[in-house]
Chain A
């Protein structure tokens, strides 16, 4: 359980995190989503006390992180992947962290196996690939058998097998009743694992919602109808949960809450002529883009690219 209240972080003039209020509940995977530079990593660093909030507060299982007797047992965090000394072996890295809490050697071996690092555990961590480093970071996060697991962009640098491993791991952890908080800038990745979504942009909370609600709010399944008699069709379709919009004088209507099939049947029943009937499904990706369009820090441009065909 993570509870942020009016959490704010300023670096001089720039506000990285702006009055965030959210709660991350146990038993589900909560996705923390936002474009690059939205303040996700800063928020996560404040949760484990690496950065101090400028104002506001954040608690973990009822207390500030630093006030716990065994912090690694409360929150296991993967922040930046390379939070290791490259000269130390994976085993010695985990062992050193375990010693601070009195975590037995057996548990170190367990997380090494769990992360699939068995064959490289004695090698210098500096020689690890990005994916191996990420696995080591996850092993460290799970070391204290934590109630809350918090991972910052865990799939970065992982191969497809690793990505699948992370997905299953996150779901398994949530099923065990743990709080799982995962950040990503990829909606597609989050859609596969997260039940709940906390979306931020430029440090502000944009949405605190579920995957289903997000789609519905973004226009969900909208049906476009072009008809000869929009006024009558409005009356015919009216009902609870049905929303019909359209400009006055226009033959086009946007309908949500009823399927295209139902609209067609109703129109036929009342003898209203339809010229066009099409349903449009908003993808999660589109919903996310709509929400964060104004909050994207770095816009790219694709119009300037011109392909120069060469004829040999």
Chain B
């Protein structure tokens, strides 16, 4: 039995007084979370899906606009379209993929039981949440930014020669594309926070979808004077201000949008941190 002999050989070495000095550090927890993220197949699939949504829907929107111009009857929705707004049409779908993956990063540990191993290794707990948020936030930011630029490069080709045509050098274009990447990165962070807060994959996804997609619809039921005051500060609308090319009196400026959206992110993270520290696993 080889396992037995392995135990026997182990003895003299492990009793040696000079035991290696291991230590948990923030950087090590980060590298552990990085390794965990990439060692699951679902990560690769969902990230690829997010990138595909972002680019494909942008190109579909641009093609649709272009064919509308050609045939003469243009959709009302596209009246004010720009190369940027068309290319970033897929953001809505990409945010779902990235947000859901964010929820899986944290809630997935609870549903599988992995969290017990994780927190036994890092019993101070909070470094795990920060590391997950940083690692996945940066990955979602990278994928979102890459997708936004790729979608624009091809999308602007498609709509060149139409009223929507624009180049990268056009005022505000680069800011919009970077804003879209940043927005998707923060959606990823909100996903991880919601997953850690609710400790359930289904619950996390529900709240994510509700806050990003359903609440804006429900707000329209409120009296219009309330709507004007509340609506721009909703996560989805504040986020949209981050990457919209043009802004009017009913929307926030890109900077204000970023600050409001950062506020929502911080709120979700604070809730997650509170629950992580306070409740049993």
Contacts and interface: CB of A to CB of B under 8 A. Distances in A.
Interface in B179-198: none
B24 interface: yes
Contacts of A80: 113, 116
Nearest to B277: A52
Main secondary structure of the interface of B (DSSP, over half): helix
A101 B28 CA distance: 7
Interface in B32-47: 32, 35-36, 39-42
A168 B28 contact: no
Given A71-B121, A97-B117, A102 B28 contact: yes
Interface stretch (A81-89, A213-221, A227-235): A81-89
B114 A100 contact: no
Contacts of B115: 83
B22 A144 contact: yes
A172 interface: yes
A116 interface: yes
A131 to B, nearest CB: 13
Contacts, number: 133
Contacts of A93: 117
Interface residues of B, number: 45
B4 to A, nearest CB: 6
A295 interface: no
B116 A88 contact: no
A140 B113 CA distance: 14
A13 interface: no
Contacts of B203: none
A33 interface: no
Interface size class of A (residues with CB under 8 A): 35 or more
B32 A176 contact: no
A52 B112 CA distance: 21
Interface string A104-139: 100000000111100000000000000000000000
Interface in A24-52: 45, 48-52
Interface stretch (A62-70, A199-207, A242-250): A62-70
Contacts of A169: 7
Closest 10 CB pairs of A and B: A66-B123, A99-B32, A92-B39, A70-B22, A83-B116, A101-B22, A51-B280, A49-B123, A85-B114, A116-B3
Given A79-B120, A92-B39, 18 more contacts: A45-B280, A69-B22, A71-B123, A80-B116, A83-B115, A87-B42, A88-B40, A88-B114, A89-B39, A96-B32, A96-B35, A96-B39, A99-B31, A100-B28, A101-B24, A161-B1, A165-B1, A168-B4
